[in-house]
A = this chain, B = another copy of it.
Amino acid sequence: MSYFTFEGKQIYYEIHGEGKPFIVLNGIMMSTASWKAFVPAFSAANQLILMDFLDQGQSERMTGEYSQGIQAEVVLALMDHLGLEKATVMGISYGSEVALRFAVKYPERLERLELFNVTARTGAWLQDIGDGWNLAARNCGEAYYLTTIPVIYSPEFYIKQKEWMAHRREVLTPVFGNPAFYEAMIRLTNSSRDYDVSDQLHKITVPTLVVSCENDYLIPMPEQRFLAEHIPNCEYVVIPNCGHASMYEKPMLFASLALGFLNNPTTEYPIG
């Protein structure tokens, strides 16, 4: 429940627990509050660091267009502010894009890297999806909900968690119709327009975990396969029957993967 200042903007962050620093970066529609269910597990033996990106949650709003690259600078500034020379950084979706931007620019500041549901670049297809979201956002809250949510959750989860989804719709629709919210969402979405680290992945030398979800129809599996093939020191794992919102669809497994890789006491397994 703290703030620090980045280029004159207030950035909200939270610290929970003690141990190896573990910075967790939000997806685009999330905020530090989205991790509530994970705080006990993530902070049990580690120093969990949550933060809201610029234009997100309790951090300050932006005006006009900006590049997502600035969010990587926010991460760096937070680490400096906390006096952390190194940390393990984990992200999901937009948060993993920022993590990757950070990783190729400041590889020496990483201990390990964990990437859930992320691509190496905003291609023409993803760009059009984002542009569609933005048009829906200005249409109405219901349009935004119906354009984004079915892409984010898997059909299986939709069916199984019918009531939870219905409740979510009730809660989110008015939020999505709030101009302050959706204008920030539009800016955040546009900020990844220039995202492309596809030819810089060799710079990442820390142990990296890449996680794909079989039914992720927003950032499909071929994208993570590309990452796994181009990041030198990379472990790659797939969650079946899971959509883009892996943290909500498979929270226990999500946490096990994140913690297992974070706390694995060694990367040296001399076989034979």
A residues within 8 Å of B by Cβ? 37-38, 40-41, 44-45, 123-126, 128-129, 131-132, 135-136, 139-140, 142-143, 145-147, 149-151, 153-156, 158-159, 162, 164-165, 167-168, 207, 209, 214-215, 217, 220, 222-223, 225, 228, 235-241, 248, 250-253, 255-261, 263-267, 269-272
Contacts and interface: CB of A to CB of B under 8 A. Distances in A.
Contacts of A209: 253, 256
A143 B150 contact: no
A167 B214 CA distance: 32
Nearest to A155: B125
A260 B222 CA distance: 25
B147 A132 contact: yes
Most B CB within 10 A of own CB, among A125, A156, A238 = A125
A124 B175 CA distance: 22
Contacts of A265: 40-41, 44-45
Given A44-B265, A129-B150, A139-B135, A271 B252 contact: no
Give the dominant DSSP class at A's interface: helix
Contact of A237 (B37, B237, B263): B237
B272 A168 contact: yes
Contacts of A264: 41, 252, 255-256, 259-260
A38 B143 contact: no
A191 to B, nearest CB: 18
Contacts of A124: 158-159, 162, 165
A258 B251 CA distance: 17
Contact of A40 (B155, B248, B266): B266
A271 B257 contact: no
Given A40-B266, A235-B252, A269-B251, A132 B143 contact: yes
